[in-house]
Structure formats: structure tokens, C-alpha cells
């Protein structure tokens, strides 16, 4: 049965006088992969950081499966998060890092280990399991963050640019896992700049610009809404974020140099 996984109402995030997220509201239901799109500095990561409890909003409310985010432990227990900037505890090895996160999440040992074995094999991280995270490549660090996000089988996955640095194989596996997660009744919020990925993977997208949602729905819905968009999500995105105007002249100018 479909359920509301995330409910964001009238969210405002501000840094001093700068308003990064301006009265934003949206819903994500179970079974959905919600694509969060927007140009740099649009407010996507700020919104995501509020959703996962890293950042306090100025006003508005966020509920994760009917639990307000102010009930930190209960809300965060239901989330698996991959941050935009993979900032883990560098001096620990992946094994030690995952021991820490699973301790905080109070995971049961045997079930966790079974799942961990599958995930490390899938993402080919076994060979680096006892290597300090500081010595890992960006892609391998990303894999550690992804495994940490999936290990406790969260109901909601919040993935902020999760494909950055991943090799083709791991990207494919992650996309399959995300699809499977939604199909099983979980919910996913997926932030990306790669329009092709969003178009193929997401069941619904929300386009954020200057802290507000400027377009929301399935890609087909958006096509109908946005006049002049030639068809791809990229065209729609550039139109609704008003980034298309003057782009041809800029490109021509650069080419003439």
C-alpha cells in the first residue's frame, strides 16, 4: 500500500540573510524514485541536509514516514544517506567505519554480516576492506558511503550525487539496487546533475531553482507543462531553470575565440 515517505512543507533554509531554500514543499511516496534536479547553488543539497538531519531549517517541517525530523533518532534510523562530498573518517578502514555506523544504528550482527558480504562483493570493495579510507580512491570512498547507506536496509534512501567517481559496473549495480529498493516499497530521493540518469531512473522529478520548486512530476508531465521543450529532460530542465536563454550565443562566442 502506498504511503507518504517524505513530506516537506514550507521549508526555509537560510544562511544569515541568504535564503537557500525558499518555502519549499514536496512529497515522496513509497515506491517512488524522486529525482531532485537543479543548477549549482539551487538549494538541493541544503534541502537534502535538512532531510537527513545534518542541517536545521529556519522554518517549515519535514516528516520521514510520519516521524518529524526533530525526533532525530527515530527519523534518522529510517534513512540511508550518501552525501555529496564523501567525508568519512579517513583514518579508519572501511571495516572499522562500518563497525562504527552499525554500532550507532544498533544493527544485529549476523544479519548485518550476511548483507555486508553481499554488498562488498557487489561493489568489489573486499580487497580494500582493511585499507585506511584516506588511502582509497574517490570511487572506492563512494562505495564505502553507499554500503554504509544500504547496510541497515533503510526505508528511505537519500542519495546526493551518488554516481560521482563510481566505475560503470558499480554505477549499474547502484541503479539496479535503487530500482529494486523502490519496487520493494522503499522510497528514494536521488539528486543528480546527469539528466539522462534522472530521466531513465526516476519515477518523478522535482526541479529546484533559487530555492523553489519550478517544475515537478513525471518527465511526461513536465513535457506537457513546458512549452517549447523539445523532449529530453535536459531541454525541460534548461527551460524551467531559465538557463537556456542566450546559451547559443555564449557557445558561439566561445567557439569563435
Partner 1 sequence: MKLSELWRISRTIYKETSFQSIFSLRSGGLLPQRTNSDIKRLVRNAELNTMISKIIMSVFIAVFGIMVFFPFGLRSSNLQVSEEMTVVGTVSAFLAVLMFLIVIMGLQVSTSFFSSKAVDFLSTLPLSKRDVSTVALLCFLRIFDLPLLLAVAGFPVAYVFFRHSVLGGLAALLSIGVTEVFALALTTGLAKFFYARIAGSSGRSKWKAFLRLVLMLVWILPSFGAYIVINFWMEIIQFFASFTQTIFALSYVIVVLYPFSYGFLVSYATFIHGFSYISLAFAVVSSLSYFVFAVYLVKWVGGTIRSIGAGGVFAASKEMVKDTLIQPLSPWLGIIRKDLRIASRAPSYASIFLLPAIQTVILVFSFSWSGELGLAGTLGFLTGMSFMTVLIPPTLFSIEGLASAYTRSLPLKKRTLILSKTFLATLTYILSLLVIFITASFLEKNSFPILTFGAVHILAVASANMLEILLLAEKFWKEGFALGNIFARLSTYILILIPGMIIIFMPIFAAIVAALFYQNLVLQVFFVVGCLEFLSIAAITLYMNR
Give least dist CB 49 to partner 1, A: 8
Give least dist CB 234 to partner 1, A: 25
Contact 74, 130 (CB under 8 A): no
Q: In the complex with partner 1, which residue's Cβ is closer, 49 or 175?
A: 49
Q: In the complex with partner 1, which residue's Cβ is closer, 74 or 245?
A: 74
Using CB under 8 A, list all residues that contact partner 1: 15-18, 45-46, 49, 52-55, 72-77, 79, 81, 83-93, 95-96, 98-109, 112-113, 116-117, 120, 126-132, 134-137, 140, 145
Give least dist CB 141 to partner 1, A: 10
Contact 6, 68 (CB under 8 A): no
Q: In the complex with partner 1, which residue's Cβ is closer, 129 or 203?
A: 129
Helix axes 138-150, 94-104, angle to 10 degrees: 30
Q: In the complex with partner 1, which residue's Cβ is closer, 12 or 92?
A: 92
What cell numbers appear for 78 in the block? 529510517
What is the rounded distance in angstroms from the CA atom of residue 175 to the CA atom of residue 168? 11
Give least dist CB 175 to partner 1, A: 22
Q: In the complex with partner 1, which residue's Cβ is closer, 134 or 245?
A: 134
What is the rounded distance in angstroms from the CA atom of residue 97 to the CA atom of residue 120? 14
Q: In the complex with partner 1, which residue's Cβ is closer, 51 or 226?
A: 51
Give least dist CB 185 to partner 1, A: 21
Give least dist CB 70 to partner 1, A: 13
DSSP secondary structure of 130-163 = TS-GGGS-HHHHHHHHHHHHHTT--SEEEEESTT
- Using the Cα atoms of residue 56, residue 58, residue 64 and residue 67 in order, give the sign of their dihedral: positive
Q: In the complex with partner 1, which residue's Cβ is closer, 2 or 85?
A: 85
Strand order in the sheet with 18-29: 18-29, 4-15, 59-64, 67-68
Contact 222, 205 (CB under 8 A): yes
CB-side neighbour CA atoms (13 Å) of 125 = 31
Give least dist CB 230 to partner 1, A: 34
What is the rounded distance in angstroms from the CA atom of residue 128 to the CA atom of residue 130? 6
Amino acid at each position: 500500500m502506498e504511503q507518504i515517505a517524505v513530506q516537506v512543507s514550507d521549508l526555509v533554509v537560510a544562511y544569515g540573510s541568504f535564503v537557500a531554500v525558499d518555502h519549499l514543499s514536496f512529497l515522496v511516496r513509497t515506491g517512488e524514485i524522486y529525482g531532485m534536479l537543479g543548477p549549482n547553488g539551487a538549494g538541493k543539497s541544503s534541502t537534502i541536509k535538512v532531510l537527513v538531519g545534518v542541517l536545521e531549517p529556519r522554518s517549515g517541517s519535514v516528516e520521514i514516514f510520519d516521524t518529524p525530523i526533530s525526533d532525530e533518532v527515530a527519523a534518522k534510523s529510517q534513512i540511508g544517506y550518501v552525501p555529496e562530498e564523501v567525508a568519512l573518517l579517513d583514518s579508519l578502514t572501511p571495516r572499522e567505519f562500518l563497525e562504527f555506523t552499525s554500532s550507532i544504528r544498533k544493527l544485529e550482527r549476523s544479519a548485518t554480516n550476511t548483507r555486508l558480504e553481499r554488498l562488498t562483493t557487489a561493489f568489489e570493495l573486499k580487497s580494500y576492506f582493511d585499507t585506511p579510507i584516506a588511502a582509497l580512491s574517490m570511487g572506492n570512498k563512494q562505495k564505502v558511503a553507499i554500503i554504509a547507506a544500504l547496510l541497515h536496509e533503510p526505508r528511505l534512501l537519500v542519495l546526493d550525487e551518488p554516481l560521482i567517481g563510481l566505475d560503470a559496473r558499480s554505477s549499474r549495480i547502484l541503479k539496479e539496487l535503487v530500482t529494486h529498493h523502490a519496487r520493494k516499497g522503499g522510497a528514494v530521493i536521488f539528486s543528480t546533475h546527469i539528466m539522462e540518469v534522472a530521466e531513465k531512473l526516476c519515477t518523478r522529478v522535482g526541479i529546484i531553482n533559487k530555492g523553489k520548486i519550478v517544475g515537478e512530476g513525471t518527465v511526461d508531465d513536465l513535457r506537457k507543462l513546458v512549452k517549447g521543450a523539445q523532449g529530453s529532460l535536459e531541454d525541460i530542465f534548461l527551460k524551467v531553470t531559465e538557463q537556456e536563454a542566450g546559451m547559443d550565443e555564449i557557445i558561439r562566442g566561445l567557439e569563435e575565440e
